[in-house]
Chain A
Amino acid sequence: MCTMIAQQVKIDGCGKGASGWFTLREADVSYDHPFNAPFEHALNIDFVNEVQGPGARVAVELSVEAARTLVETIQAVLTRAEAGGYIEKEATA
């Protein structure tokens, strides 16, 4: 752990890992050395289910620019969904 910059958030959803789909319970977000991306540090997100063990993990390793763009894009998509009334519909369905 060279930066020790890591945070965990509880989430609901599903992810597709090496053994197929599984329920996601946590997202671990860190800015530290990636395993595979060709950067010294990356914005790493591990979508995991801790109860199911270390293998229940979907990993992404992003450049800083890509991470910021992703955040903006997620927000933009959610804003459109909200404006279209889809999120309320989803919640009451």
Chain B
Amino acid sequence: MYKTDIYESMLAETITLQGFNGDMINAYFARPLGPGPFPGMVLVHHMPGWDEWYKEITCRFARQGYATLSPNLYFRAGHGTPEDVAAKVRAAGGVPDDQVVGDLAGATRFLRSLPTSNGKVGIFGTCSGGRHAYLAACRVQIFDALVDCWGGRVVMKDEDLSPTQPVAPLSYTKDLACPLLGLFGEEDQSPTPEQVAIHEQELKRYGKQYEFHMYPGAGHGFFYHQRPMYRQEQAVDGWNKVFAFLETHLKQA
């Protein structure tokens, strides 16, 4: 628990790391200073891109004691304002799932290589980033905890599959090898409560360790304080659940 006489320090900067196919991409990296050991967190940005909100929460996780990386999954689309780059990616139908998984695996390797690492790395994502986080944790068993915040299109119909998203993440559920925390809003349109229920059934079917929380009075993106969808009470409770979950699985385990 934080007390006011504790000395705090952290460093936040842009770095480059090796992602999918050996490509170099950039990432925002915030970490507590000191010898550690510190657990790591990979943050998976949402459809609006590698934006200010993700930079803010990268620092937030670092303040909580995590060496935290938010890789720029849209790096290959070129550079400009986060919105302009994200709009370009949106028009292209998103970034390929395989590429994202490779980039997130690269970020994880980077965190594990740090001399201050405690050997554990978690992954967190919201919106499309929640989907990508779930997909990555199922496809590469290198994570120790997974937080999926309202990740849409985990459950996909056949007609929703595309060249960039050829397989529904739900199909990989049997391969999930770490505990999962899922936060969702009852009024969300993607994922709907019905889709979350299907997801939960699959987790139960394979005996996975998970906890899902469905918030009344909240829709999509209820953590986003800069958007009308922000829901203060649900967001505060959700953040508390995120950090309690990570404390258990990345710091105490």
Contact = CB atoms under 8 A, between A and B. Distances in A.
B228 interface: yes
B190 interface: yes
A4 interface: yes
Contacts of A30: 90-91
A1 B47 contact: yes
Interface of B: 47-48, 77-81, 83-91, 93-94, 127-128, 152-153, 160, 162, 165, 189-190, 219-221, 227-229
Contact of B90 (A6, A40, A55): A6
Interface string A5-23: 0101000000000000000
Contacts of B229: 40
A59 B128 contact: no
Please tell me the size bucket of the interface on A.
Answer: 20 to 34
A57 B84 contact: yes
Contacts of B89: 1
Smallest CB-CB A-B distances: 9 pairs: A28-B91, A54-B80, A1-B94, A54-B84, A2-B152, A55-B80, A38-B228, A54-B88, A2-B190
B78 A4 contact: no
A33 B48 contact: yes
B220 A55 contact: no
Contact of A28 (B90, B128, B189, B228): B90
B44 to A, nearest CB: 13
A2 B90 contact: no
Contact of B87 (A4, A28, A40): A28
16 contacts: A2-B127, A2-B152, A2-B190, A4-B94, A6-B90, A6-B91, A8-B91, A32-B90, A33-B127, A33-B220, A38-B228, A40-B229, A41-B189, A48-B91, A57-B87, A57-B88
